[in-house]
Amino acid sequence: MIGKVIGGKSFAGTVGYVMKKDAGILDSEGITPPNVKYMVQDFHDQTLLNPRVKNVVGHISLSFSERDKAKLTDDFMRSVAKEYMQKMGVDNTQYLIVRHHDAPHPHCHIVYNRVKNDGSTVPDSNIRLRNVTVCRELTEQHGLYFATGKENVREHRLREPDKTRYEIYSALRVAVPCCRNWSEWAEALKRHGIGIEFIRNGSTDKIQGVKFMKNGHKFSGSKIDQAFSYSKLDNYFNRVQRAEQRPDTRQSSQHSYSPQSISALQTAVGGYMSAFGNRFTSQKDDSTMIDLSAFGAGNLPLPSMDSGIGISAAQLQRQPDETLEHHIARVTALINQMTAAMIDHIEEQKRKQREQIKKPKMKL
């Protein structure tokens, strides 16, 4: 589940947009649906209770993974949307919840009046930060899917050679965890119409790269995804072989994180550290350190849980009946969402600083 804070300049434009063709109203309060004109008037009338509020329109979209389609009935989506509003402090005010059917993934829009029924205001401070935190909580609470990276690509919109490259990516992603060595993997890919070509050093004949072929197109492993470079794949298969040879363990390829999943996590951690690592170098509070050594990513310094951005150790634990691939994808998604929250938080601070500077100084 992902929330996007959209906002809006006017109720006329926002309500008109969410009430487009094939939209379905899930719930409303304090307005008169389905007539757009009447709803806009209802919203506008309430803003007169507090004329000092400039940004009166609240607009947020909630998007869900296609994997959760069967679960996302209108009743369930309505319930989640109202839970979201309650956690975001959107209460005692007018609102409209509308479901759209114009995209493959289920999603809905929440339009609300920032002027409450009593004339007070729905807070919007750190709204993007709170949005990420609340979405994360509800996703875990309801067992919804954490979508990451290339899983969000709309394949039907791709053109060649990107279409073939994504087809290869999808096949590689499925095949790796099921295979123990290069030979088994080559056979698995052949069933998908994908060929393999090894790149060798001209003087030593040592393998130094791998390419994948399909539909007349050829891509190096790293061009498909950094997780599919020759070195990372070879390291993965070597780990699987060593694990199978140890008499004191039953670990196999099905009990190892795939290299592309490890790479995705390490990329998420690397992006976070490059952007924010220096912000925590002076902190001595060990409670902000998260141990990711199980994923080969070391310790990660994070904001405290009190900030609403941090990730707890419990959130990183593998859940009952959760596959290894889903587990590491969920952890990666948590880090990416937290990174996005940090970026929004910093941008919000900068915006407020700019507004403070622009304010005219009072003459005494």
| DSSP strands (E only) in 30-85 | 57-63
Distance (Å, whole) CA 111 – CA 98: 8
Distance (Å, whole) CA 55 – CA 121: 10
Number of helices followed by number of strands (H, E) in the chain: 11, 10
- Kindly give the confidence (pLDDT) of every residue in the chain, 364 residues in length, as a single tens digit, with 9 standing for 90 and above: 888 888 788 999 999 999 987 889 999 999 998 999 999 999 999 999 999 998 999 999 998 888 888 889 999 999 999 999 999 999 999 999 999 988 878 999 999 999 999 999 998 887 887 888 888 888 878 888 755 545 555 555 667 888 888 888 878 876 766 677 888 888 888 888 999 999 998 888 889 899 999 999 999 988 887 778 888 888 878 877 776 665 544 344 445 677 767 777 777 777 677 666 566 654 444 446 777 766 666 677 777 666 666 677 777 777 776 777 778 888 888 787 777 777 777 777 777 777 777 666 655 5
Domains and CATH numbers, the chain: 2-145 (3.30.930.30), 153-256 (no CATH), 261-358 (no CATH)
- Kindly report whether the peptide bond that precedes residue 33 is cis, defined as omega within 30 degrees of 0: no
Count of C-beta atoms within a 10 Å radius of residue 96 = 27
CA nearest to 349, candidates 56, 125, 88: 125
pTM of the model: 0.52
Give the pair of three-digit tokens for residue 353: 């600083």
* CA distance readout (Å), 10 to 24, 28, 54, 92: 21, 18, 11, 20
| CB contact at 8 A, 316 and 290 | yes
